[in-house]
Amino acid sequence: MCHALLSDSTLYKMLFEFDRDLAAKARAAGCSCGGVLHAADYPRKPRGGPAGLPAEYRFRLSLCCARDGCRRRTTPPSMRFLGRRVYVAAVVVLATAMQSGITAKRAARLRELVGVSLRTLKRWRAWWRTQFIEKSLWKSERGRFCPPVDVGALPASLLERFSGEDERARLIQTLAFLRPLTTRSAGKEAGS
């Protein structure tokens, strides 16, 4: 895991731009009733990102139908948030991708860097190895990876399967892969 990547504000700003693009595509598609979608962002309290991120980063981009009687909310997928977790997705992936496991020293460094507790790290690691592998996204897509992803080493083994010149590029591809898990429209997929 690259500590520099966890504190790279340009990465987080790039992820926000990806989210803006996803919201623009959802807006252009409109509501299923044919209505126009307007911004209906809602506040989040994302943890783990570097200091100095713009205030707009604390909002989950969302849309709402303008048509009376519909008002259906559309929340596009996100590259910043992984379901309802309070920590940003990049932190959830990178902090649990430690190849050699969670040692007291690594946990202390992560606590200092992004504020995540050892208890939370253990819960995330358990999620990757139990709940994530039961998601329909994983069940339908795992066969595309060759050699197969080592479930016991998730998410590090997933990061390794994406091509890219550096860890940053692989992280972005991993977050793009996980986008279906970031919305309620994925039903119970967004799970804990």
- Single pTM value for the model: 0.89
Question: Does residue 189 belong to any structural domain of this protein?
Answer: no
Question: Does residue 169 belong to any structural domain of this protein?
Answer: yes
Query: Which helix (H) or strand (E) is 6 found in, with range?
Result: helix 3-6
Sign (positive or negative) of CA dihedral 180, 55, 84, 155: positive
Q: What is the pLDDT of residues 73-119, one digit of tens each?
A: 999 999 999 988 889 999 999 988 875 567 788 788 888 888 888 88
Rounded to the nearest 5°, which phi and psi values hold at 105? Answer: -65, -45
Nearest to 51 by CA among 97, 93, 12: 12
Question: Does residue 190 belong to any structural domain of this protein?
Answer: no
Question: Does residue 153 belong to any structural domain of this protein?
Answer: yes
- Decide: 54 and 119 in contact? Cβ < 8 Å: no
Query: Based on the structure, what is the number of domains in the chain?
Result: 1
Pairwise CA distance, residues 128 & 146, whole Å: 19
Place 188 in a pLDDT band, splitting at 50, 70 and 90: very low
Place 67 in a pLDDT band, splitting at 50, 70 and 90: very high
pLDDT for the residue 83? 86
Structural domain of 129 = 3-184
Name the amino acid, one letter, at 177. Answer: F
- Decide: 121 and 92 in contact? Cβ < 8 Å: no
Question: Does residue 191 belong to any structural domain of this protein?
Answer: no
Mean of the per-residue pLDDT values of the chain: 88
pLDDT for the residue 98? 74
Question: Does residue 80 belong to any structural domain of this protein?
Answer: yes
Question: Does residue 162 belong to any structural domain of this protein?
Answer: yes
CA 147 from centre of chain: 24
Q: Give the three-class secondary structure for 149.
A: coil
Q: What is the pLDDT of residues 114-173, one digit of tens each?
A: 888 888 988 998 999 999 999 999 999 999 999 999 999 999 999 999 988 899 999 999
Question: Does residue 61 belong to any structural domain of this protein?
Answer: yes
